[in-house]
Structure 1
């Protein structure tokens, strides 16, 4: 497969392996951006996919030149949405009721008859632990 006896052929082989892997990353970035873009018509998406099948290298290059700035905007918007979701989740988890609030809520549930006295004691013990 490869002639590993010559050091330059090794360097050349690593170069082509790197180039192929870089191409695969670009190809998957283009495909994921095509499906992420909700403003692009379905027929245009289908055309880009067909071109990717028949002229893969030139189509990836053309897509990156023609729609590269849009790719960046969509990636930034998706990253900001993911960051906002993580921050909202962290805020929701971090804001837990204090032991006094939990006991007060449990006391109101006991007074209304929703939970029993034993359940109230268990909640109180867990809150104070």
Structure 2
């Protein structure tokens, strides 16, 4: 049972390293090819060498990919739902702000109507 677990663990580690090699934007094509050949020809030493030389930044690359995917997903959901992006006011918030400015006398009724038409357009 222990050997079976170690065998599965080895393949998992091998796939993680190979996927990190291909998803790494800081490696050139030749660098990726060299790492893949090294990992395939000498699997034990190749994976260990990769973990020694590039393992410290594997989690940073994975975190950047996850953050990018999360940002893209949130932008997609926001575009489909029609809600405004963070930091921008919705039309109702903008109209409320314009009404407050008109009530305080900061803008005239004509300016209010013009800006209201722009917000509702």
Q: TM-score, normalised by structure 1?
A: 0.59
Matched, 1:63 2:50: yes
- 5+ long unaligned stretches in structure 1: 1-13, 97-129
> How far off its partner does 1:88 sit?
1.0
Residue 77 of structure 1: which of 64, 73, 80 is its match? 64
* Alignment partner, residue 29 of structure 1: 16
Residues 1-129 of structure 1: pairs in structure 2 closer than 5 A = 14-95=1-82
| Structure number with bigger Rg | 1
Backbone CA RMSD of aligned residues? 1.4
- 5+ long unaligned stretches in structure 2: 84-121
CA distance in 2, matches of 1:94, 1:41: 39
CA distance in 2, matches of 1:89, 1:40: 29
Q: Give a deviation string over 1:74-109, Cα, whole Å, max 9, x none.
A: 11110000001111112122227xxxxxxxxxxxxx
